[in-house]
Amino acid sequence: AFNFCAGPASLPTSVLEQAQAELLDYQSSGVSIMEVSHRGDLFTSVLASAKARLRRLMQLPESHDILFMQGGATAQFSLIPSHFLHGVGAYINSGQWSIKAIEAAKRFGEVQVLASSEEANFSYMPTQASWDKLASNADYLHYTPNETIGGVRSPFVPEVEIPLIADFSSSILSETIDASKFDFIYAGAQKNIGPAGVVVVIVKRELLKTAKEQASPVFDYGKMLAADSMVNTPPTYSIYLADLVFKWLEEQGGVSAMEEINNQKASRLYSCIDDSGFYRNPVALSDRSRMNVPFILADDRLDATFLAESEAAGLKSLAGHRSVGGMRASLYNAMPLAGVNALTEFMRDFERRYG
Ligand code: PLP
């Protein structure tokens, strides 16, 4: 079966096999990695390895630190303004996840939405030219490089003088980025990194100097950094699996190799959609996501049949997000090209039979 779920998403088979093989006895310790002390050598070396691999994969500059936190990306929607919003927080509204980040920030101070594609049902990413002049007074600019629900990807990294903050939950490690351009990156793990339960935060130390102290130390970036992400018990098993995924990524040739495969996967699926008169993707060509591909059928009365038949053919979880309907195929790193080939074959056959 191929799993097209938007999240939590599938992990590489070889990673799950390794986890299965060492589940009961981790490195001849006689116990599972789940059962060892988070302060002992076995787990602290997993944590160090995960951080080192992620740093290499993303080519993080020395100025940036990695934190493993809890509460998902959603907790970050509030934690970012509660640390860094002193006057005004600037946001780009490119979809449902941007909206959630904006709504959370409003509880902490003034929010300035520099640009929004809401009037066009979030079918494109606002260009920098449309908001450029507005950003200078804000404490930071927040944007969502990949909108998981709308299937919209920003084809550019904003160039701003203020700290740049990005929610990479659904595209981290799927394409190379210049991390030095960002002051703060965060990503829930459960799409391209590992199981739910951990959120990766990459923060420039310089930005932390402007942070407000938090009431809860587990949600205080400075305190988490000082404690190497272990103010309290971290989600050890999720971090262990993240490390295995990072190792798998290195074996695949790293992020640039992954990006090449992801481009191939996405272009194959978009071609199948665009070449047909039966399927349609509403997003502007330049802004189409490579990770989440929404599409609608010419006749939505066929949706239920499409979903039942695709499920029976081993193509899992193709239903679109409940807020938009239609279909959505998520093509995270663990999805092989063979999965996209199977999907496009199924789609062409479905069109021949029902189109
Ligand atoms: N941001 C983006 C872009 C997402 O896709 C998601 C979840 O799908 C979230 C935030 C929320 O993540 P979490 O469920 O980890 O809070």
Residue 134 has pLDDT above 80, yes or no: no
Q: Give per-residue pLDDT as tens, 137-157.
A: 899 999 999 999 999 999 999
Whether residue 80 contacts residue 201, with contact meaning beta carbons closer than 8 Å, is answered with no
Q: Decide: 163 in ligand 1 pocket, CB within 6 A.
A: no
| Nearest-atom index, ligand 1, CA of 144 | 3
Task: Output the CA 28–ligand 1 centroid distance in Å.
Answer: 36
State the average pLDDT over residues 74-91: 98
Site of tokens 């020395």 = 62
| Pocket probe mutation, ligand 1, options 148, 169, 328, max atoms within 8 Å of Cβ | 169
Reported as a pLDDT band with limits 50, 70 and 90, residue 133 is: confident
- Identify which of 337, 327, 288, 307 has the alpha carbon closest to the alpha carbon of residue 123: 288
ipTM of model: 0.99
44 is in an annotated binding site: no
The phi and psi torsions of 73 (rounded to 5 degrees) equal: -65, -30
Whether residue 193 contacts residue 238, with contact meaning beta carbons closer than 8 Å, is answered with no
Read off the amino acid at residue 144: T
- Catalytic residues, which ones? 97, 167, 191
Ordered domains of the chain (ranges, CATH): 15-251 (3.40.640.10), 253-354 (3.90.1150.10)
Q: Decide: 289 in ligand 1 pocket, CB within 6 A.
A: no
190 is in an annotated binding site: yes
Task: Output the CA 178–ligand 1 centroid distance in Å.
Answer: 22
Q: Give per-residue pLDDT as tens, 289-325.
A: 999 999 999 999 999 999 999 999 999 999 998 888 8
pTM, to two decimals: 0.97
Q: Decide: 123 in ligand 1 pocket, CB within 6 A.
A: no
Q: Decide: 278 in ligand 1 pocket, CB within 6 A.
A: no
Q: For residues 185, 188, 192 and 197, what is the CA-based torsion angle, rounded to 10 degrees? A: 140
Q: Decide: 170 in ligand 1 pocket, CB within 6 A.
A: yes
39 is in an annotated binding site: yes
What is the rounded CA–CA span in Å between residue 210 and residue 76?
17
* Full 3-state SS string of the chain: CEECCCCCCCCCHHHHHHHHHCCCCHHHCCCCHHHCCCCCHHHHHHHHHHHHHHHHHHCCCCCEEEEEECCHHHHHHHHHHHHHCCCEEEEEECCHHHHHHHHHHCCCCEEEEEEECHHHCCCCCCCHHHCHHHHHHCCEEEECCEECCCCEECCCCCCCCCCEEEECCCCCCCCCCCHHHCCEEEEECCCCCCCCCCEEEEEEHHHHCCCCCCCCHHHCHHHHHHCCCCCCCCCHHHHHHHHHHHHHHHHCCHHHHHHHHHHHHHHHHHHHHHCCCCEECCCCHHHECCCEEEEEECCHHHHHHHHHHHHHCCEECCECCCCCCCEEEECCCCCCHHHHHHHHHHHHHHHHHHC
Task: Output the CA 215–ligand 1 centroid distance in Å.
Answer: 24
CB atoms within 10 A of CB 43: 21
The rounded percent of the chain whose pLDDT value lies above 90 is 95
| Pocket probe mutation, ligand 1, options 98, 100, 170, 184, max atoms within 8 Å of Cβ | 170
Residue with the smallest CA separation from ligand 1 atom 12 is 73
Residue 223 has pLDDT above 80, yes or no: yes
